[in-house]
Amino acid sequence: MQVISINKFIIIVLFSCLSTSLAFGSVSVSSITSEIQSKVIQKILIDNPEVIAENIIVNIKPNTLNPSIPENCHSYSYKIFNKSNLLGRTFIPVYLLDKNNKRIKKIPLIIDSDAKAIFYRTNKKIKIGNMIKKQDIYKVTESLIGKSNIIYNKIDNIVGKEAKINILKDSLLTSQHIRSIPDIYKGNNVLIVLKKGSLELKTKGKSLDDGIIGDKIMVQTLGMSRKLLKGEIIDKDKVQVNIIN
C-alpha cells in the first residue's frame, strides 16, 4: 500500500503486486492514477459542497493482472462523466495511446471513493408538529454513501423548524423529517382576496393546505357556494387569488 499526498488531499492508492517503478517514457501507472485521483476529488467536491477535501478518500487499483505500460505508449485517455456519482465503487477504463493516438491497451481501474460530512441526528423522539430545538439534536460526521435524500448539515436549517412526521430518536435529519413552520395550516380560516386588475373583492374562506408566505395553496370559500380556488399566501391569514378572465 502506498500513500500519496496530492494538494493536501490524503489519497490511498492500492496496487496489486506493483510498485512506483512502473514508468515507461512519460507515462506511468502512478502518473495515470494520480491524475484520475485529482479529477475524482474535484468532482466529489463540486457534487457535494458540504464536504471538505480532507474528508475524501479515494482508493484506486488496476482491475487487471498486467497493468504495465507498453514502451510505445505516448499518452492515455479516459472519461469521467458529469452525471456519474463517484461515491462508492466506480469503474473507469483508461486507454493507452501510441504517438498517433491509436489505442494499444486498456487498463480498467477500480475506484472506491468515500466522503464524510457533518450531519445532525435527534437525541430523542420528536412528535409531528413540534418545533425542533438545539437541545433536541447532536452533530455527527458520517459517510455520504447511501444518503439519497436532502440532508441538513447546517444547524440554522434545523433549529426552529417543525417536524412534519414523528421522528425517532437518533434519526438522521433530512427533508423527509422537517419543514419550515407554516404561516397557514390546513383547516385555518383565511381571508381570500379575489383580485382582477385594480379591483379587489375580499371574502372569508378556509385553507385546504399548509403553506408559508409565497406558497400556492388551495382554499375554499365559505357560505353556500363553497368554491375551490388556488391562490398565493401573502400574509399569515391572507390568500390572494388572481382572476384572469
Which pLDDT score is estimated for 167?
97
Give the separation between CA 92 and CA 6, rounded to whole angstroms: 20
Which pLDDT score is estimated for 55?
94
Give the separation between CA 149 and CA 55, rounded to whole angstroms: 20
**What proportion of the chain, given as a percentage, has pLDDT over 70?**
87
Query: Which single residue is written with the C-alpha cell 381570500?
Result: 192
Residues in the chain: 245
Instruction: Give me 115's grid cell.
Output: 466522503
Which pLDDT score is estimated for 122?
96
111 within 8 A of 36, measured Cβ to Cβ: yes
Instruction: Give me 156's grid cell.
Output: 440554522
Q: Give pLDDT < 70 ranges for the chain.
A: 1-26, 64-66, 149, 245
Which pLDDT score is estimated for 149?
65
Which pLDDT score is estimated for 125?
97
Q: Over the stretch 189-204, which tens digit does the pLDDT of each residue have?
A: 999 999 988 899 999 9
Contacts within 8 Å (CB) and 24+ apart, 77-82:
78/36, 78/109, 80/36, 80/39, 80/40, 80/43
Q: Cα angle vertex 79, ends 18, 55, to 5°?
A: 65
